[in-house]
Amino acid sequence: MEKLENWWKNAVGYIIYPESFKDSNGDGIGDLNGITSKLDYLRDLGVNLLWICPIFKSPMDDNGYDVSDYYQINPEYGTNADFDNLIKQAHARGIHILVDFVLNHTSDQHAWFQKALKDPSSEERDYYFFRKGKKVGDKLLPPTNWKGFFATSAWEQVPGSDDFYLHIFGKSMPDVNWANPKLREQYYAIARYYLDHGVDGFRLDAVAHLAKDLSFEDSKAPADKDGLVYDTGKFSNRPELFDYLHLLKDNVFSHYDCLTVGEAGGNISPEQSLLMADRRSGSINMVFNFDTVWNNGAYGSIDKSDEEIKTDVISLKDNFMRWYWTCHKKADMPVYWCNHDHPRVLSQYGSIAYRNESAKMLLTTLLFLYGTPFIYNGDEIGMSNVNYSSLDDFGHDVGNVNAIKELRHNGYPDDQILHYLNRVSRINARTPMQWDDSAYAGFSSKGSINKVNENYSDGVNVLDEMKDPYSILNFYQYAIGIRKNPIINDQVLYGELSLVDHNHPDVFAYMHDGAEKIMVISNFRPYPVYFTFYYDIKDILLHNYEGVVIQDHVFTLRPFESFLLKVR
C-alpha cells in the first residue's frame, strides 16, 4: 500500500455542534467564541482536526442546515471576525478546521429563492426545481409521489400558484439544481471564499443527493397510505453526482491543500464511494457513510421493546470490513460512531450501567481501525441519551416534529412515541456539552435550546472527570496519544487489518499485521463472555479493567472489557 502524503493521515477529528457546545455571552446559545475558549481543552485532549457543524446565517428551521447567506456567520454564533479569530487561534494550536458546507439546498429565506418565487423568469428560478402540480379531479397533487427524508411529500406548493418546488428535507429547505452551470459557479465562489480565509476544508453535507432524477417520474415502489414513496434512488447517488463533484474539484479543491469529506447516505456502497474518493481518480478525499451507526435494530424501532435493541456485533464487523476491503488501498476513510444526527453511541452500543467501561471500550474499538477517527463532542466524558418526560422537549427539531405528526397519524400513542424518541432522536446528540456541575452544566448562565441531560450533576462532566485519573476523559486523552504515536499510526494505516474470530457474536476483535502486530479485543456485552486467544502478549497498551483473566488460552472478558495489545 502506498504511503499517504497528506496532513490528515495524522489527524484525530472532533465533531462540534456549535449551538450546544459552549455559550460565551449568556444568551443560551453556543457560539464561536465559546469554541475558541475551549481550544486549549481540545488541544490537550489530543484532537487536531475540528469539524464544526453549520455556522452560516440561517433562520434555524433545521439547526443551521437551512442557509440564508453563505457569506455571513449566523449572528447567534458571532461575527465573521469571530470566525477569523477562531481559525487563527486554532491554527496556532496545531488544530485544523473543517466547516459544514451545505450543497444540496438553501433556506427558503435565501435571496436566490426569494427572487425565484417573485420572478418566474429570473435566472434564480433555474437554481431550484419548480414543477407544475398534477390535477386529478378537483385536486392539485404534487408533481411526483416522492417522499422526502422528513416524512412528508418532497414537494411544496407555491402559495397562489399551481407550481411546486422540490425539497427532500424540510419544506423550508428547497433543493438547488446542480445541473445548472450558473448555480454551480455560485458554490465554487463560496468555497474559494472560505478557503482563502484559512479554513482547511469542508464536510460536504448531503452530498449524495446533488443529482436528481430529472425525468420527474413517479416511483413505482410500494406507496404508503398517503400515496407517497420513499425511494432514495430518485435523489441519491445518481450517476450525474460524480460529474458535479469532479467539476467542484477541478474548479476549486485541486487548487488548495484542503480536506473534503462527503456525507454520503442514501445507501451508498463502498464501490460507489470510490467514484468520489479514490486517491487517483476521485473528486473528494473521504466519504462518511451510515452503515455502522445503526447495527442494533434501533432505527425505526417504534414497535420494539428495549430488550429487542441489541448490538449485532457480527453485522457491525462485516460493515466495517466491507468498507475496508474495498477502500483501504485506494481511498482514505473516516471512522466514527455517531454525529449530530444520531443517538449517543454510549446508549446505542454501550450501557449507562457500565458507563465507564463501555465508553472506554467503544473508543478503543474505533480509534485503532483503519482510517481517520472522528469523535463526537461529549463522547469523551460518556454523555448518553436523554430521558425526557414530554414530547414538547423534542419540539425544537423539525425532523422530530414531523416524525411525531406522522406517528400520531399512524395511531401510535404519545407515551410510545416519547419512549421511541428518547431512544433514537438526534436531539440526543444536541443537548448541551457538560462542562461542570454548576447550573446548566456550565454550558451557559442562562439555559439552552435543548434541555441539559440531568446526569451532569452525577459526575458526567468535564471538570469532575479531569479530577479523576481513571475517568473516561483521561482515558481518551491517553488513548489518543497512543494513536498519534507515529509507529502505531503507521501500523493502523499500513498494516493489513483482519478480524479475529469473525463469527464470535459478542466480541469485536481485529489485528493489524506487520513487524509489530497490534490487536484490539472488545466485549460488546453487559455480561462476561469467553474469547479464545492463541497469541503471546508482548505488551498491554490499553485496558479498561484491572488485571487480566485468562486460562488455557481463553479470556474471560468482563462486561465491556477491551484491550489494545502488542502480540506475537
7 contact partners, CB below 8 Å, separation of at least 6: 96, 257, 259
Contact call for residues 64 and 482 (beta carbons, < 8 A): no
For residues 331 and 347, give the distance between their C-alpha atoms in angstroms, rounded to a whole number.
Answer: 31
Distance, first Cα to last Cα, the chain = 22
Q: What is the signed CA dihedral for 314, 320, 322, 326, rounded to 10 degrees?
A: -170
Told to judge if 263 belongs to the known catalytic residues of this protein, a careful annotator would answer yes
Long-range contact set of residues 32-38: C-beta below 8 Å, sequence gap at least 24: 32/73, 32/77, 32/78, 32/82, 32/83, 32/85, 32/86, 33/78, 33/82, 33/86, 35/86, 36/82, 36/85, 36/86, 36/89, 36/90
Active site residue 217: no
Which of 61, 76, 205, 291 is catalytic? The answer is 205
Question: What gap in Å lies between CA 477 and CA 482, rounded to an integer?
Answer: 9
DSSP string for 56-112 = EE---TTTT-S-SEEEEE-TTT--HHHHHHHHHHHHHTT-EEEEEEE-SB--TTSHH
- From edge to edge, which strands make up the β-sheet containing 537-543? 497-499, 507-512, 517-523, 562-567, 537-543
**Angle formed at CA 244 by CA 241 and CA 245, multiple of 5 degrees:** 90
**Which entry of 23, 31, 156, 263 is annotated as an active-site residue?**
263
Q: What share of the chain is helix, strand, coil (3-state, %, to 5)?
A: 35, 20, 45
Closest CA to 202 of 111, 92, 330, 70: 70
12: amino acid identity, one letter = V
With cell 475496508, the residue in question is 324
Q: Is the CB of residue 66 less than 8 Å from the CB of residue 107?
A: yes
SS3 454: helix
Q: How many residues does the chain have?
A: 568
CA 212 centroid distance within chain? 23
Three-state SS for 521? strand
β-bridge mates for residue 164, sequence order: 131, 157
Q: How far is CA 118 from CA 107, 121, 124, 172, 388, in A?
A: 15, 9, 10, 16, 43
How far apart (Å, rounded) are the C-alpha atoms in residues 191 and 250? 12
- Which residues contact residue 496 at a Cβ distance below 8 angstroms, ignoring those fewer than 6 apart? 512, 513, 514
Task: Give the pairing type, strands 372-376 and 13-16.
Answer: parallel
The residue among 303, 271, 309 whose CA lies nearest residue 287 is 271
Catalytic residue positions, numbered: 205, 263
